[in-house]
């Protein structure tokens, strides 16, 4: 009896590997410049989704100090509400995808640092997804019908208001981990030979700025500075990825120097 599962699993595993092989070979055949440009597109899509699904969402639905108005805004704009939730969740998918591409591009600079950056980015993605779940929870409270019959109208409004405030806090914590990701990523760019090093410097400064949200009052007091440094780092990064990608010749030279390392 115990031999049967094993006997079936080997053909199944072989079939899955056979089906996945063309996709793996296709990705492996991408040039570093093409990977960088795809990463740039994903980076832009993630940023757009995060702004619409997070920043715009809170400005549209969360009415400061007014639970009743917040609940009314949610009920009155159902389509927009779910569009924002969808954008926030798509942003997570784009974020995970460009995390993989960034790791693949920069692992030859320093594999340990690239792996650390990828791990931090995955944690940030989890926080980003958690923030979106709080958005869904707010809808269930005020618009979910029979799912929350235990709450009165005022209780539901207050609970939805609380949940959306937790959503804001979760998104802010995500930004802190995004800052932690920018620090090793900026370092990798600085140490690379195939990317403008000045972008790496500004990305590290940008990361320090977002990390200051560990102390929100201080971060809010210097937000204009954070915004300027963020623009100086992230906009050139995005434009360079989309327009240039990476210097393929220098990438291959650095790959050759790192070729003796296992797994590179």
Q: What is the pLDDT of residues 90-144, one digit of tens each?
A: 999 999 999 999 999 999 899 999 999 999 999 999 999 999 999 888 888 886 6
Do the domain assignments include residue 3? no
Q: What is the extent of the structural domain holding 214?
A: 34-257
Give domain status of residue 95, yes or no: yes
Domain for residue 263, yes or no? no
- 5 occurs within a structural domain: no
**Which of 8-22, 65-79, 224-238 shows the highest mean pLDDT?**
224-238
pLDDT at 26: 56
Angle of helix 153-191 relative to helix 67-76, nearest 10 degrees?
A: 80
On whether residue 28 sits in a domain, the answer given is: no
pLDDT at 27: 57
Closest Cα to residue 114, out of 24, 191, 208?
Answer: 191
pLDDT > 90: what percent of the chain?
48
Reply yes or no on whether the pLDDT at 23 is more than 50. no
Give this prediction's pTM.
0.80
pLDDT at 225 (0 to 100):
92
Work out how many domains the chain is built from and give that number.
1
CB 191 within 8 A of CB 109: yes
Whether 16 is in a domain gets the answer no
Radius of gyration of the chain, Cα coordinates, nearest whole angstrom: 22
* pLDDT (0 to 100) of residue 24: 45
pLDDT, averaged across the chain: 83
Q: Are 154 and 72 in contact (CB under 8 A)?
A: no
Q: Flag whether 98 is in a domain.
A: yes
85 within a domain of the structure (yes/no): yes
The band of 9, judged by pLDDT with boundaries at 50, 70 and 90, is very low
Residue 72, helix vs strand vs coil:
helix
The pLDDT confidence band at residue 16, using thresholds 50, 70 and 90, is very low
**Long-range contacts made by residues 69-76, C-beta under 8 angstroms, separation at least 24?**
70/157, 70/160, 70/161, 70/164, 71/142, 71/156, 71/157, 71/160, 71/161, 74/138, 74/139, 74/142, 74/143, 74/160, 75/142, 75/143
């Amino acid at each position: 009896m115990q031999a049967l599962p094993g006997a079936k699993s080997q053909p199944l595993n072989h079939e899955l590997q056979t089906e996945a092989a063309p996709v793996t070979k296709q990705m492996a055949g991408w040039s570093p410049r093409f990977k960088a440009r795809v990463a740039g597109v994903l980076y832009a899509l993630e940023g757009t989704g995060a702004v619409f699904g997070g920043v715009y969402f809170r400005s549209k639905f969360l009415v400061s100090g007014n639970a009743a108005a917040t609940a009314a805004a949610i009920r009155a704009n159902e389509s927009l509400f779910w569009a924002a939730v969808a954008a926030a969740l798509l942003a997570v998918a784009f974020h995970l995808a460009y995390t993989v591409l960034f790791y693949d591009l920069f692992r030859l600079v320093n594999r340990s640092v690239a792996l650390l950056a990828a791990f931090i980015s995955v944690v940030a993605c989890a926080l980003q997804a958690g923030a979106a779940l709080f958005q869904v929870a707010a809808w269930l409270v005020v618009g979910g019908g029979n799912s929350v019959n235990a709450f009165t109208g005022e209780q539901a409004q207050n609970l939805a208001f609380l949940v959306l405030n937790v959503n804001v806090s979760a998104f802010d914590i995500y930004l802190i981990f995004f800052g932690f990701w920018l620090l090793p990523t900026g370092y990798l760019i600085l140490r690379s030979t195939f990317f403008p090093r000045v972008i790496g410097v500004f990305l590290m400064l940008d990361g320090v700025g977002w990390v200051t949200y560990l102390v929100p009052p201080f971060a809010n007091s210097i937000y204009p500075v954070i915004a300027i440094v963020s623009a100086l780092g992230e906009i050139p990064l995005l434009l360079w990825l989309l327009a240039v990608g990476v210097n393929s010749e220098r990438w291959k030279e650095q790959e050759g120097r790192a070729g003796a390392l296992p797994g590179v």
